[in-house]
């Protein structure tokens, strides 16, 4: 399918390793075959891109840490900290408890390094909606962690 090559190229341009991009593309096609899609043909491409991005984000979450979110928006620290220890579960939980639209924009911005314009195009939102949701997502994550009683020292 032509979309498969297109998805692979898109993911590779976004910084995904070629082999991982191929795996994700196969997962997208498999998901399309397994699901009962009732989409018009002109919307299938956008759906496939969204699924590919989601699958990559899921993979990235498994492989990477939440260091960028913490350093840029919550702690404003320049130190590098490894987050693969069990005591970082509250951070992971807090991000996963965010409303979906906030999880989306935070993941795309910090983990996939998409620009605000790229996210707006991908999500079919206006640029201002992306900016607002990014700001609200940061604020919501910060409040969740503070409300749960966590400070920077809790994650050292």
Q: For residue 52, what are the domain limits?
A: 1-63
Same domain, 90 and 148: yes
Residues 6+ apart with CB under 8 A from 44: 3, 32, 37
**DSSP state, residue 131:** H
Same domain, 55 and 101: no
CATH of the domain at 86: 1.10.10.10
Distance in angstroms (rounded) separating the CA atoms of residues 29 and 36 = 13
Which has more confidence, 106 or 144? 144
Same domain, 57 and 79: no
pLDDT tens-digit series, residues 49-58: 889 988 888 8
Same domain, 93 and 106: yes
Give the number of domains in the chain.
Answer: 2
Same domain, 75 and 125: yes
Same domain, 69 and 96: yes
Same domain, 70 and 48: no
Same domain, 36 and 73: no
CA distance readout (Å), 58 to 2, 112, 134, 147: 24, 11, 19, 26
pLDDT tens-digit series, residues 2-16: 788 988 988 888 888
């Amino acid at each position: 399918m032509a979309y498969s090559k297109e998805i692979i190229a898109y993911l590779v341009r976004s910084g995904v390793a070629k082999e991982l991009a191929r795996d994700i593309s196969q997962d997208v096609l498999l998901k399309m075959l397994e699901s009962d899609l009732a989409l018009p043909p002109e919307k299938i491409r956008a759906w496939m891109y969204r699924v590919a991005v989601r699958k990559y984000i899921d993979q990235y979450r498994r492989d990477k840490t939440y260091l960028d979110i913490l350093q840029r928006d919550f702690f404003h620290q320049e130190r590098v900290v490894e987050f693969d220890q069990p005591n970082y579960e509250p951070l992971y939980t807090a991000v996963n408890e965010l409303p979906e639209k906030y999880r989306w924009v935070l993941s795309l911005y910090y983990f996939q390094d998409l620009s605000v314009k790229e996210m707006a195009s991908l999500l079919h939102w206006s640029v201002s909606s992306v900016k607002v949701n990014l700001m609200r997502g940061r604020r919501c994550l910060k409040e969740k962690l503070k409300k749960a009683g966590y400070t920077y020292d809790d994650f050292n």
